[in-house]
Amino acid sequence: MKDYHGLIFAYYTDPKLRELVSMRTAASLPFCGRYRLIDFSLSAMRNAGIVDVGVIMQRDYQSLLDHLGGGKAWDMARRTGGLRMLPPFGLPEYHRGNYAGTMEALIAVSSYIKDVQAKYFVLMLGDMCANIDLTLPMEQHRKSGAPITAICTDRADAAGFRMTYIPGEDGYAKQLLVDTVDEKEGVLSLEAYIINKETLLELIETSHAQSLHRFHKDTLDKWLKEGGKMDIYVHHGYTALVRTAESFYKANMDMLDPDIRHELFPAERPVFTKIREEVSTYYSSDSYSRNSLVADNCIIEGSIENCIVFSGARIRKGAKLKDCIVMSDCIVETGCVLDHCIIDKDVSFSAGTVLTGNEKLPLIVPKGSHI
């Protein structure tokens, strides 16, 4: 029997991500030229030896399913166990809308949780951007004996946090501040937990009986108030929760800083992702490129500066891109000038297109547009 089982929440998508999530869930948002956000939680689990993982999804999950495949990229295509997709199933009528909260999502998959033969569950968000060495909180959880360990951070590199834990003198969580971000008084919750199986089932049962659907506001707050023990593990590396178009833009642009990038992609804990085609990127003699991250299979003939370019891009001679995120398979014809744009997948710009956004309000060009 394996001790740990992973659960990733990939059902929640904040509407503040605007057009970026019209066709996908937040967990499958493209990141840093080749990744999807869910790669971080999947890789963290894989690197800690957790390869039995359920992904809770609810809607618009086609792009997520396409990315996950059979779980091969994370060594989760296993004969027994491995990656399991958990879309809604067998739910009573009143549960068929959007999940009102994480607890409702857990209630929806409670039969799955019951069947899992593991002592502990690791719960993580699919849209978290951090490279967490889970072996550390796992070790801490075993030693402390607290039924719940909350994974928190003392860094808030991009907005999106919603919960703060105030530690008591003994180091255990004393108080939960819901919908409050207070990094001076406490530590910010990554909404990730290690929790004993029987505790998780108890919480689910109680919440279900009382129709309480919000994991933090109802369940965990009550747990602490009733004297339940919760340990806190603090992650010190780069952390972002991508919940708005602006934080999506910022988190991507943060990757241009080599120190941050090395922190998020250390050699000893690689971030795994689905592999696309295998061909290098070509820079022509006419190209100009500065301070940019460029994925494979691009042809750069124009000019890029402060850009994140995903695979398959064709930047033609004379095109100029500055401070842009260019997702997969975009074509930018000659003479285009693009500034502060988030260009979604499969977009093509005909010659001479000029578009300008700004840092606070990056211009989003929706997937598949022809301009």
Partner 1 sequence: MKKKLIAMLLAGGQGSRLYALTQSEAKPSVPFGGKYRIIDFPLSNCANSGIDTVGVMTQYRPLKLNSYIGSGQPWDLDVNDGGVYILPPYQSAGEKGSWFSGTANAIYQNLAFVENYNPDAVVILSGDHIYKMDYADMLRDHLEHNAACTISVLTVTLEEATRFGMMNLGEDGYIKEFEEKPKHPKSTLASMGIYVFDWQKLRKYLIQDEADPNSRHDFGHNIIPAMIADGEKIWPYRFQGYWRDVGTIDSLWEANMDMLTPHLIDLYDPEWPISARSPICPPHQVGSHAEINHSIVTEGCEIDGIVTNSVLSPSVKIGVGANIEYSVLMPGVVVEAGASVKYAIIGENSVVHAGAVVGASPAPGQQKSITTIGPDIEIPAGSTVKVGAMISSSEEV
CB of 52 to partner 1, least distance (A): 21
Q: How far is Cα 362 from Cα 371, in angstroms, rounded to an integer?
A: 17
Tokens of residue 235, six digits: 């992650």
Find the part of the chain contacting partner 1 (CB under 8 A) among 29-37, 82-90, 126-134, 234-242.
Answer: 29-37
Q: Is 269 helix (H, G, I), strand (E, B) or coil?
A: coil
Stretch that binds partner 1, among 100-108, 122-130, 178-186, 297-305 (CB under 8 A): 297-305
Nearer to partner 1, 1 or 275 (CB): 275
Q: Residues 299 to 358: which contact partner 1 by CB under 8 A? A: 299, 304, 308-310
Of these, 102, 164, 297, 328, which contacts partner 1 (CB under 8 A)?
297
Nearer to partner 1, 60 or 296 (CB): 296
Length of the chain equals 371
Which residue, 154 or 257, has its beta carbon nearer to partner 1? 257
CA angle 359, 241, 213 (to 5 degrees): 130
Q: Which of 22, 135, 206, 287 binds partner 1 (CB under 8 A)?
A: 287
Q: Which of 294, 324, 338, 364 binds partner 1 (CB under 8 A)?
A: 294
How many residues sit in the footprint of partner 1 (CB under 8 A)? 38
Judged by beta carbon, residue 148 or residue 255, the one nearer partner 1 is 255
CA 206, 125, 115, 139 dihedral sign is negative
Sorted by sequence, the CB contacts under 8 Å of residue 366 that are 6+ apart come out as 19, 22, 344, 347
Give the H or E element holding residue 122: strand 120-125
Which of 162, 314 has the CB closer to partner 1? 314
Half-sphere exposure of 51 (CA within 13 A, CB side): 17
Helix (H, G, I), strand (E, B) or coil at 330: coil
Q: Is 293 in the site for partner 1 (CB under 8 A)?
A: yes
Residue for token digits 């401070």? 323
CB of 92 to partner 1, least distance (A): 42
Q: Which is nearer to partner 1, 226 or 278 (CB)?
A: 278
**The binder of partner 1 chosen from 110, 175, 281, 353 (CB under 8 A):** 281
35 contacts 129 by C-beta, under 8 angstroms: no
Among 180, 210, 211, 291, binds partner 1 (CB under 8 A): 291
Residue type at 302 in one-letter notation: G
CB of 33 to partner 1, least distance (A): 3
Nearest approach in angstroms of CB 266 to partner 1 is 11
In order, the DSSP letters of 332-369 are E-TT-EEESEEE-TT-EE-TT-EEE--SSSPEEE-TT-
The gap from C-alpha 191 to its chain's centroid, in whole angstroms, comes to 12
Evaluate whether 313 touches 321 at the Cβ level (below 8 Å). no
- Report yes or no: 254 and 242 within 8 Å, Cβ to Cβ: no
Residue 72 or 222 having the CB closest to partner 1: 72
Q: Which is nearer to partner 1, 73 or 146 (CB)?
A: 73
Q: What is the CA radius of gyration of the chain?
A: 21
Nearer to partner 1, 180 or 284 (CB): 284
Shortest spacing between CB 295 and partner 1, in angstroms: 4
238-277 footprint of partner 1 as x/- string (CB under 8 A): -----------------xx-x--x---x----xxxx-x-x
Q: Which of 344, 274, 281, 349 is nearest to 312 (CA)?
A: 281
Binding site for partner 1 (CB under 8 A): 32-34, 72, 255-256, 258, 261, 265, 270-273, 275, 277-285, 287, 289-297, 299, 304, 308-310
